[in-house]
Amino acid sequence: MLKLQGIHWNTPEGEEILKGIDLQVPEKKLTVITGPNGGGKTSLAKLIAGIYQPCAGSIVLNGEDITPLDVTQRARRGIAYAFQQPVRFKGLTVRDLLELSAGETLDEARLCGMLSTVGLCAQEYIDRSVDSSLSGGESKRIEIATVLYRRNAQLLVFDEPEAGIDLWSFSKLTEAFERLKAGGDRSIVIISHQERIMEIADCIAVVANGRVRTFGRREDILPELLLGEKQSFCPIGDPRKEVC
């Protein structure tokens, strides 16, 4: 289980982005973090992964305070992270990257299955370099595949996985998330605005203006969000916390 307690974070320029985040991510469930642009969602995801360090507060994973740990140390403890803008790796092929993630040599059938999950044909991609020759959408899908199939990952964090993904690939990706959820052996956090992704969540957290505005079961939170969208205002007022 992941617990964030009193998390504050400022940009290097001193702008306060997160203003006391308290959030408990349930174990082995799918949690979607949503909210308006600029509210702090991506910053929160990077804090969980260890890319950023909080100015105050603590991050606890399975009873261990991982606040001082860097991104590599957190990865060793089972946190996997997919960037909103994927990192490119000059000199590595798609096959290399997937095998590094899986921790083993992969045959053609396994590679095909991994890439088809994100809407790519293995024969066209396994020997391509993970560099600027790939489009943003292609890089995004390959990175998502490395996270989905990373060995020993217990907490998967996806920052807007739908960005740059075509409709068909998005449908395949949603199916992959549903299978992960059904497996019930890993915790999943997805930063997303997509209703289709929120529909498959167990829990939804709304982050706005650097704070958790509300958190609870999908069936309680999603109708309020959809109602607010239709009425062109957010119906969620004072923060509340619910057991999910």
**Residue 21 pLDDT exceeds 80:** yes
pLDDT of residue 231: 52
The most confident of 35-49, 87-101, 119-133, by mean pLDDT: 35-49
Decide: 161 and 137 in contact? Cβ < 8 Å: no
Of the listed ranges 28-37, 118-127, 204-213, 226-235, the least confidently predicted one is 226-235
- Whole-model pTM? 0.84
**Residue 2 pLDDT exceeds 80:** yes
Q: What is the pLDDT of residues 151-202, one digit of tens each?
A: 789 999 999 888 777 777 788 788 888 988 888 889 999 999 999 999 999 9
**Residue 146 pLDDT exceeds 90:** no
What does the alpha-carbon distance between residue 36 and residue 154 come to, in Å, rounded to a whole number? 28
Q: What is the pLDDT of residues 48-85, one digit of tens each?
A: 999 999 999 999 999 999 999 999 999 999 999 988 76
Amino acid residing at 66: I
Q: What is the pLDDT of residues 201-221, one digit of tens each?
A: 999 999 999 999 999 999 999
Mean per-residue pLDDT for 16-45? 94
- Going through the chain in order, the beta strands assigned E by DSSP cover 2-10, 16-25, 30-34, 56-61, 64-65, 79-82, 89-93, 129-130, 155-159, 187-191, 203-208, 211-217
pLDDT of residue 121: 83
Among the listed residues 227, 219, 84, 64, the one whose alpha carbon sits nearest the alpha carbon of residue 159: 84
Calculate the average pLDDT of the chain. Answer: 87
Residue with the bigger pLDDT between 210 and 234: it is: 210
Sign of CA dihedral 1, 9, 158, 207: positive
pLDDT of residue 123: 84
What the block records as the tokens of 207 is 């982050």
pLDDT of residue 228: 65
